[in-house]
Amino acid sequence: MRNLTESARLYEAARKVIAGGVSSDIRRSTTAAPPLYVDHARGSHLWDVDGNEYVDYVLGQGPLLFGHSHPRIVEAVNRQVARGQTYSAQHALEVEVADLVCDLVPCAELVRFNSVGSEAVHAALRLARAATGRGKVLKFEGHYHGWYDPVAFSVHPAPDEAGPADRPRPVPSTPGQPVGAADGLVIAPWNNLPALERILDEHAGEIAAVIMEPLLCNSGCIEPHPEFLRGVRERTRRDGIVLIFDEVITGFRLAPGGGQQWFGVVPDLAVFGKAMAGGFPLSCIAGSAEIMRPIAEGKVAHAGTFNSNPVVMAAAAAALGMISKEGDALYEPLRERGRRLAGGIAERARAAGVDVLTAGPGPIVQVYLTNRPAVDDYREYAAVDRARTLGLHAALLDQGINSVSRGLWFLSTAHDDTDIDRTLAAVERVFADPAWQAGP
Ligand SMILES: Cc1ncc(COP(=O)(O)O)c(C=O)c1O
């Protein structure tokens, strides 16, 4: 067991002045222990305020493709911060970053920057509604597009509240939604083209945008069936619906050009965040000159005090510069290490008689505690043993391994074979532990 004396003290102090003791709901402790209080981090490791060391597969919930405090990113940020921290005016770095995004991302001819994924999604949906003159958006059950009201529905709904699997109904993710918020939203099941076609037929002429995570990473890690993705592309094109890929996780993580490059299907509009600035808050929308025209001409409002903040842009120029220079060569070792990690966990589970399913293309890995042979959509994800998955996360934290509590693991270029060996040894210890075997 870890010594967490100082973490517990800080948590107690925090709860007196920070609602719930944490600054984002996802940081609430999912275990009996206090949430992680980080002292410092470097490369693929972080250290808590009690001196415990962890191999970090959370990576800030995905942004740290290059690990913590990569020297090039640190140097770029330090250089810029001495030249001013925010201008709310144009500068050369934003042109450099926009050029890099347009070079790397297939759908990008023009971009606009924001700070976080949720507001870029907000901008993309507004643009799609304005461009089509239609009011509704279709999202898929289980997909997460940030915490703003129009999309805070049907992320992890209880299946018994969510309606039929092939015709889900919108389930609010939170109380406090405005009256009628669900009226602007249509929900469809993931990876089910006939159901999607039928739902689109029923809403003919009403849908401005179909938005999706091209690789679903917020309810397990679920790849799109190739025919599903192609079918969505064809149908949205035919109906004049704006196809939006939410690449906040997949962008610059799956491949230099994100999920659209990895899966070979190009959307009309895409949203990026997380990995694009090496751990600094930056997001953007990117699309063809045609689709971006209403923003370019000032007809659709887009704003933000901190948009294209120069310190953040310095980090992005460094991160995207490395991606642009190294291209796919940067990603192959990430995929290989991810495969080794997933394969090693599955092998140790088999040896210990634990039901585990692993998935994910490598830079992202998912570990499900389930005896299902596959997880293909949200309803199947909802049937995996989530309490047991949380239990594995908690037990691994005690062993110095930090993974996302729902079973997701992010890899960075800073992870090496020693990290993977250490992680697999920890997994083996947990699977052999009678206390963990006894279950929650
Ligand atoms: C796919 C996806 N879209 C949007 C968001 C929202 O991004 P942010 O938390 O930066 O607002 C997230 C956050 O995890 C995400 O995973």
Ligand 1 centroid from CA 145, angstroms: 6
| pLDDT at residue 280, as a whole number | 98
Torsion, Cα of 228, 130, 97, 113 (10° steps): -110
| pLDDT at residue 67, as a whole number | 98
Ligand 1 centroid from CA 6, angstroms: 31
Q: What distance in Å separates the CA atoms of residue 213 and residue 121, rounded to the nearest whole number?
A: 11
Helices 417-432 and 386-398 meet at what angle, rounded to 10? 120
Active-site option among 48, 56, 246, 268: 246
Ligand 1 centroid from CA 421, angstroms: 30
- Whose tokens are 């594995």? That residue is 392
CATH 1.10.10.920 is the classification of domain 71-326: no
Question: Is 331 considered catalytic here?
Answer: no
Contact 250, 104 (CB under 8 A): no
Ligand 1 centroid from CA 438, angstroms: 35
Residue 221 token pair: 């890690």
Spell 192-222 as b/e; 16+ CB within 10 A means b.
bbebbeebbeeeeebbbbbbbbbbbbbbbbb
| pLDDT at residue 438, as a whole number | 82
Average pLDDT, the chain: 96
Residue nearest to atom 7 of ligand 1 (CA): 117
Backbone angles phi, psi at 106, to 5 degrees: -55, -40
Residue 382 token pair: 């909802």
User: What are the sequence ranges of the domains in the chain?
Assistant: 5-69+328-437, 71-326
The whole-model pTM stands at 0.97
Per-residue pLDDT of 398-438, as tens digits, reads 999 999 999 999 999 999 999 999 999 999 999 999 888 88
Nearest one of 338, 313, 309 to 416, comparing CA atoms: 338
Active-site option among 11, 54, 56, 274: 274
Ligand 1 centroid from CA 146, angstroms: 5
Q: Which ligand 1 atom is nearest residue 143's CA?
A: 1
- Whose tokens are 């998935």? That residue is 359
SS (H, E, C) the chain: CCCCHHHHHHHHHHHHHCHHHCCCHHHCCCCCCCCCCEEEEEECEEEECCCCEEEECCCCCCCCCCCECCHHHHHHHHHHHCCCCCCCCCCHHHHHHHHHHHHHCCCCCEEEEECCHHHHHHHHHHHHHHHHCCCEEEEECCCCCCCCHHHCECCCCCHHHCCCCCCCCCCECCCCCCCCHHHHEEEECCCCHHHHHHHHHHCCCCEEEEEECCCECCCCCECCCHHHHHHHHHHHHHHCCEEEEEECCCCCCCCCCHHHHHHCCCCCEEEECHHHHCCCCCEEEEECHHHHHHHHCCCCCCCCCCCCCHHHHHHHHHHHHHHHHHCHHHHHHHHHHHHHHHHHHHHHHHHHCCCCEEECCCCEEEEECCCCCCCCCHHHHHCCCHHHHHHHHHHHHHCCEECCCCCEEECCCCCCHHHHHHHHHHHHHHHHCHHHHCCC
What residues does ligand 1 touch, defined as CB less than 6 Å away?
61, 116-118, 121, 144-146, 213, 218, 246, 248-249, 273
Question: Is 160 considered catalytic here?
Answer: no
Residue nearest to atom 5 of ligand 1 (CA): 146
| pLDDT at residue 134, as a whole number | 98
| pLDDT at residue 30, as a whole number | 81
Active-site option among 144, 331, 368, 381: 144
| pLDDT at residue 32, as a whole number | 82
| pLDDT at residue 73, as a whole number | 98
Question: Is 325 considered catalytic here?
Answer: no
Mutate to test the pocket of ligand 1, among 59, 114, 249 (most ligand atoms within 8 A of CB): 249
Ligand 1 centroid from CA 248, angstroms: 6
| pLDDT at residue 92, as a whole number | 98
CATH architecture, domain defined by 5-69+328-437: Alpha-Beta Complex (3.90)
Mutate to test the pocket of ligand 1, among 248, 253, 272, 282 (most ligand atoms within 8 A of CB): 248
CA 79 to chain centre: 29
| pLDDT at residue 212, as a whole number | 98
Q: Which ligand 1 atom is nearest residue 247's CA?
A: 1
Residue 57 token pair: 């597969």
Q: Which ligand 1 atom is nearest residue 117's CA?
A: 7
Nearest one of 97, 58, 98 to 76, comparing CA atoms: 97
Q: Which ligand 1 atom is nearest residue 274's CA?
A: 10
Per-residue pLDDT of 23-71, as tens digits, reads 999 899 888 889 999 999 999 999 999 999 999 999 999 999 999 999 9
In sequence order, what are the residues at sequence separation of 6 or more whose Cβ sits closer than 8 angstroms to the Cβ of residue 147? 118, 173, 174
**Same fold yes or no, 5-69+328-437 and 71-326:** no
Ligand 1 centroid from CA 117, angstroms: 5
| pLDDT at residue 434, as a whole number | 85
| pLDDT at residue 31, as a whole number | 80
| pLDDT at residue 113, as a whole number | 98
Residue nearest to atom 14 of ligand 1 (CA): 146
Ligand 1 centroid from CA 49, angstroms: 27
- pLDDT by residue for the chain (440 residues), tens digit each? 799 999 999 999 999 999 999 999 989 988 888 999 999 999 999 999 999 999 999 999 999 999 999 999 999 999 999 999 999 999 999 999 999 999 999 999 999 999 999 999 999 999 999 999 999 999 999 999 999 999 999 999 999 999 999 999 999 999 999 999 999 999 999 999 999 999 999 999 999 999 999 999 999 999 999 999 999 999 999 999 999 999 999 999 999 999 999 999 999 999 999 999 999 999 999 999 999 999 999 999 999 999 999 999 999 999 999 999 999 999 999 999 999 999 999 999 999 999 999 999 999 999 999 999 999 999 999 999 888 999 999 999 999 999 999 999 999 999 999 999 999 999 999 999 988 888 77
Q: What distance in Å separates the CA atoms of residue 201 and residue 46, rounded to the nearest whole number?
A: 50
Per-residue pLDDT of 355-379, as tens digits, reads 999 999 999 999 999 999 999 999 9
182 φψ region: left (φ > 0), alpha (ψ -120 to 50), beta (else): alpha
Backbone angles phi, psi at 38, to 5 degrees: -85, 135
Q: Which ligand 1 atom is nearest residue 121's CA?
A: 4
Q: Which ligand 1 atom is nearest residue 62's CA?
A: 14
Contact 47, 69 (CB under 8 A): no
| pLDDT at residue 53, as a whole number | 98
In sequence order, what are the residues at sequence separation of 6 or more whose Cβ sits closer than 8 angstroms to the Cβ of residue 173? 147, 152, 153, 154, 155, 156
Torsion, Cα of 155, 160, 161, 166 (10° steps): 70
